[in-house]
């Protein structure tokens, strides 16, 4: 009588064991039919065979320490090559005794990127982190930094102009006038410097021995080109996207022409133009560092692609968002910065990160103008006749490093896409 149930109630039974957990997942996804079961078994056997062969070559019969490549002959993978050449692979021709400098520079850039990934840092503190991190990075790489008065005036003009337009109608009168004064000081100072009325004053900071960019190589070069190339290309691409949607025919035509021209040629051609042809148009005796020219070419190329991605995000927004911003009597900079761009950028996160990953790997193209990034220094490690004949080990190691960076960006893209779209879920 104790097992009797009240009328209208049913006992809740647990689901069958073979429908839950690992066994249930395998039954539903791997062995749901005879065909799927046979395919699963064949694929598992093929993967096991390939993996056993790879482990036999890469681990069980591999050589991890050896005086030269000859001692690795007849065995599996020669990881002794990586152990012997890892400092050259990572830092290139940078002075051997000072490899701690590019190492600290890489760690500084990684700290900047990790800080940028934290949404709690998306405020004024992030600007300070990037300014300080950039100063430390290039001081470590160059050893000596020189800031001319034109540099400070240009920074004042850019910061003052951005602040003046972004804070117009939002900030106090004192704040807006301060931005205007900063922009005016920068503009007037640059004119006086061009007319040679203002003296050529400069601030020199010498902390270590000077190392020219021709000796840079390896991972620092890849990270500097990718990090700062994309950091400058992103706002530049936003301006191009907004200019392409402008109602002013001249601005729209210039932006369309520039985007189509840059996207219509390969990156290698821009690098060759920057390295070979640009010096021909400069005044006699004027030179621009080759590394800087390569960085400018990457910025121009990446900016054109980013502009088209952002333009797609802008076109995806409903017209009501623009009309609502106009109804609030917001100025064009306020409407763009506060309402339009945040929504457009949220939509295009996946293609943006895809572009970032692509350009991180495309930095290897700078070899065409004699700059050795991480992949190219890894390739140069094979030039040593004592270690020639083991390309698989070097390229696998380089692929592993690239995978770590690209996979991290991919996972962060997924996380950011989920976080920024929480308010739009249904």
Give the chain's mean pLDDT.
84
Query: Regarding the domain delimited by 216-426, which CATH topology (the fold level of the hierarchy) does it fall under?
Result: MetI-like fold (1.10.3720)
User: Can you tell me the mean pLDDT for 68-87?
Assistant: 84
Higher pLDDT, 67 or 405: 405
For residue 15, is pLDDT > 70?
no
Q: What is the pLDDT of residue 106?
A: 94
Instruction: Please report which confidence band the pLDDT of residue 5 belongs to, taking 50, 70 and 90 as the band edges.
Output: low
Report whether pLDDT(169) > 80. Answer: no
Distance CA 61, CA 75 (A): 6
Q: Which long-range contacts (CB under 8 A, 24 or more apart) does 205-208 make?
A: 205/139, 205/144, 205/145, 205/146, 205/147, 206/143, 206/144, 207/139, 207/143, 207/144, 208/98, 208/101, 208/139, 208/140, 208/143, 208/144
Residues with Cβ within 8 Å of 203's Cβ and at least 6 positions away in sequence, in order, are 146, 147
Any idea where the domains of the chain sit in the sequence?
A: 17-60, 216-426
Q: What pLDDT is recorded for position 9? A: 58
The confidence band for 100, taking pLDDT boundaries of 50, 70 and 90, is very high
Say yes or no to pLDDT of 4 above 60: no
Please, which pLDDT band fits residue 78 given cuts at 50, 70 and 90?
Answer: confident
pTM of the model: 0.83
State how far the Cα of 28 lies from the Cα of 175, in Å rounded to an integer.
Answer: 64
pLDDT of amino acid 67: 83
pLDDT tens sequence across 139-159 = 999 988 888 888 888 888 888
DSSP lists the bridge partners of residue 217 as 372
- Kindly indicate the confidence band of residue 3, based on its pLDDT and cuts at 50, 70 and 90: low
422 has a pLDDT exceeding 70:
no
Dist CA 84 CA 121 (whole Å) = 40
Asked whether residue 334 carries a pLDDT value surpassing 80, the answer given is: no
State pLDDT tens for residues 245-296: 888 889 889 999 999 998 888 888 888 888 777 777 666 666 778 888 888 8
């Amino acid at each position: 009588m104790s097992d009797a149930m009240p009328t209208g109630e049913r006992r809740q039974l647990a689901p069958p064991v073979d429908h839950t957990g690992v066994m249930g997942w395998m039954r539903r996804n791997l062995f749901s039919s005879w065909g799927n079961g046979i395919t699963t078994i064949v694929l598992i056997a093929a993967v096991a065979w390939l993996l056993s062969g790879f482990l036999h070559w890469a681990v069980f019969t591999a050589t991890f320490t050896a005086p030269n490549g000859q001692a690795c002959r007849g065995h599996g993978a020669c990881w002794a090559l990586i152990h012997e050449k890892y400092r050259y692979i990572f830092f290139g021709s940078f002075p051997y005794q000072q490899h701690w400098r590019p190492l600290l520079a890489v760690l500084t850039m990684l700290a900047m990127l990790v800080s940028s990934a934290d949404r709690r840092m998306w405020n004024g503190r992030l600007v300070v982190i990037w300014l300080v991190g950039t100063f430390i990075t290039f001081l470590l790489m160059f050893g000596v930094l020189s800031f001319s008065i034109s540099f400070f005036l240009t920074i004042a003009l850019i910061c003052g102009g951005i602040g003046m337009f972004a804070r117009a109608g939002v900030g106090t009168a004192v704040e807006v006038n301060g931005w205007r004064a900063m922009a005016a000081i920068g503009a007037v100072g640059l004119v006086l410097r061009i007319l040679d009325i203002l003296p050529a004053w400069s601030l020199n900071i010498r902390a270590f021995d000077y190392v020219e960019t021709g000796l840079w190589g390896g991972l620092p070069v890849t990270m500097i080109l990718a990090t700062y190339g994309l950091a400058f290309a992103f706002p530049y691409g936003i301006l191009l996207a907004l200019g392409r949607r402008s109602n002013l025919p001249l601005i729209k035509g210039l932006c369309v022409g520039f985007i189509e021209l840059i996207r219509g040629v390969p990156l290698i051609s821009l690098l060759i133009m920057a390295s070979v042809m640009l010096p021909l148009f400069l005044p006699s005796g004027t030179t621009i560092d080759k590394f800087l020219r390569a960085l400018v070419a990457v910025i121009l190329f990446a900016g054109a692609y980013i502009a088209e991605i952002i333009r797609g995000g802008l076109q995806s927004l409903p017209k009501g968002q623009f009309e609502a911003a106009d109804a609030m009597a917001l100025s064009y900079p306020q409407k763009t910065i506060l309402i339009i761009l945040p929504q457009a950028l949220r939509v295009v996160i996946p293609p943006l990160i895809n572009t970032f990953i692509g350009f991180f790997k495309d930095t290897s193209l700078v070899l065409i103008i004699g700059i050795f990034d991480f992949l190219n220094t890894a390739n140069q490690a094979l030039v040593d006749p004592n270690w020639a004949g083991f390309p698989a080990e070097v390229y696998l190691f380089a692929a592993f490093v690239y995978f770590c960076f690209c996979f991290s960006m991919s996972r962060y893209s997924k996380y950011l896409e989920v976080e920024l779209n929480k308010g739009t879920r249904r």
